[in-house]
Amino acid sequence: MASPKSRSRMSAARWMMVAALLIGLDQLSKLVIVNSYALGQQTVLTSWFNIVRVHNAGAAFSFLSDAGGWQRWFFVGLGVLAVAVLAFLMIRHAGQVLFSLAATLIISGAIGNTIDRLSYGYVVDFIDWHYAGWHWPAFNFADSFIMVGAGLFILDEIRRVRRG
C-alpha cells in the first residue's frame, strides 16, 4: 500500500499530465493562428465573436506592452517564479482537488504564455469577444486557463474559510 506522501506525488504527477495537455492545446491553437493569419487579420464568426491575430508584448490588457523590451524578460521571470511556487504548493496539496485544479490551470497558462515570450518576444492572442462596437481585449487559451484558475482559487479559499 502506498504511503500518503507517495499517493500525493502520484496525484501531483497526474495534475502535471493535465497541465502538459493544456499547454499542448494552447500552443497548438497559437501555432494554427500564426500559420493561418497575418497580424491583424480576422475572421468574423458571429455578431459577437471573431478570431483575430494580435501580438501582446505586455501583460493583461496590454499592460507595459510599449515599455521598450525589458518587460519581456520581466514577464518570463514572473512566469517561471509563478510556476515554481504553484508547482511546489500543488505537490504539497495534490490531494485537494479544487486547489490542484486551480494551480494546474494557472501553471498551464503561465507556461503557455512564457513559451510565447521566449519564442516570439510577445504573446499570441486571437480570441476577440465584442458587442455593439466594444471589444474585450483579445486573449488566448493560456489567458483563459489563468483566469479560470484564479477564480477557482478564490472559490477554494471561500470554501476553506467557511469550513474553518
Question: Any idea which residues carry the catalytic annotation?
Answer: 125, 143
Question: CB within 8 A of 26, min separation 6: which ones?
Answer: 108, 109, 112, 140, 141, 142, 145
158 burial via Cβ count (<10 Å: 0-12, 13-18, 19+): exposed
Spatial distance between the Cα atoms of 164 and 155, rounded to a whole number of angstroms: 14
Spatial distance between the Cα atoms of 52 and 39, rounded to a whole number of angstroms: 8
User: All 3 cell numbers of residue 157?
Assistant: 479559499
Contact 76, 85 (CB under 8 A): no
